[in-house]
Amino acid sequence: MLPVLRAVLALGGSGASSEITESVIEAQGFSEDMLAVTYDGREKSILVDRLDWARSYCKLGGVLESPKRGLFLITDLGREIAGLSDSEADKRLKEVDHAVRKARRKSPKKVSDSDSEESESGLEDDESWREALLARLHELTPEAFEHFVLYVLRSQGMELKRVGGSGDEGVDGIGTAPIGGGVLSTTIAVQAKRYEPSKTVGRETVALFQSDATAAGAEHGVLVTTARFSGPARQAALNRHPTIDLVDGRKLTELCLDGSIGIFLSPVVSEDFFDRFEEL
């Protein structure tokens, strides 16, 4: 929990789920071999799964808050704890963890308003749906995955035309993306990489796509994969022209969830919601 909390602080007090995970991995020096260790029969990294749980317990314990699904903001309590020495901060977070677990034992079946808003928490809502979605996407042919990615990006308001065919390199789509509230637009190139979800995409892949995007006359690029990106890959995406927006497997599943693309949600009754009427 402490590395997660300090990662949010280092990011400026807020961060998306993927940003926090990448920040912790980089700060702690976790190797690719460590990230490659998965549960038996599952493709998700055990380390990434533990970071998801730590982030969720930080939220449930009040050191982080989540005003929007997948986005986290440090609280006053979180800033206070993050400013302590490692030993004192760890002690306080263990107390927070104990309080959360104690509360969950008392009401294990209840879903609070805040829990139900964040489907990625890994607590009330497990992540089996995310793993199932990535596994299904990995079953697509490279060409089919390209079609799928173009559909997802079009659902975000982009106007795209598929170019070329399936293959390891090159631009898979070219078009425009709205900016400035839709008044302006920018030319973008798209590349889709259907990899094993446990694979890490390195800097060289991003750099090569930047060259291809430049040759295609694009001002920006979008690289979408079912895998995850390394720290150097994320740095290269921002430090060279054209800049590349990276959509990893987790972000891709979030886009599918937001747009109800291939995902069907079941209603969940929030027991705590009705308590407020008893007090009137």
Q: Would you state the pLDDT for residue 225?
A: 96
Confidence class of residue 42 from pLDDT cuts 50, 70 and 90?
Answer: confident
Structure confidence by residue, pLDDT tens digits, 197-251 = 989 999 999 999 999 999 999 999 999 999 999 989 999 999 888 999 999 999 9
| pLDDT at position 167 over 80 | no
Residue from 166, 141, 127, 169 nearest 38 by CA: 127
What is the predicted pLDDT for the residue at 128? 82
Q: CA 140 to CA 151: how far, in whole Å?
A: 14
pLDDT at 260 over 50: yes
> Half-sphere exposure of residue 208, counting CA atoms within 13 Å on the CB side?
11
Q: Give pLDDT, residue 116.
A: 37
Q: Which residue would you say has higher pLDDT here, 121 or 4?
A: 4
Instruction: Please provide the size of the chain in residues.
Output: 280
Q: Tokens for 36, please give them.
A: 């490659």
**Secondary structure (H, E, C), 175-222:** EEEEEHHHCEEEEEEEEEECCCCCCEECHHHHHHHHHHHHHCCCCEEE
49 three-class SS: helix
Q: Which residue has the higher pLDDT, 142 or 121?
A: 142
Show the tokens assigned to 94. Answer: 């263990």
Determine the Cα angle at 25 with ends 21 and 30, to 5°. 145
For 132-258, which CATH class?
alpha beta
- For the chain, give every domain's residue range: 2-126, 132-258
Cα angle 131-68-260, degrees, rounded to a multiple of 5: 45
Helices in 62-141 by DSSP H: which ranges? 76-82, 86-106, 113-117, 128-139
d(C-alpha 121, C-alpha 113), whole Å: 13
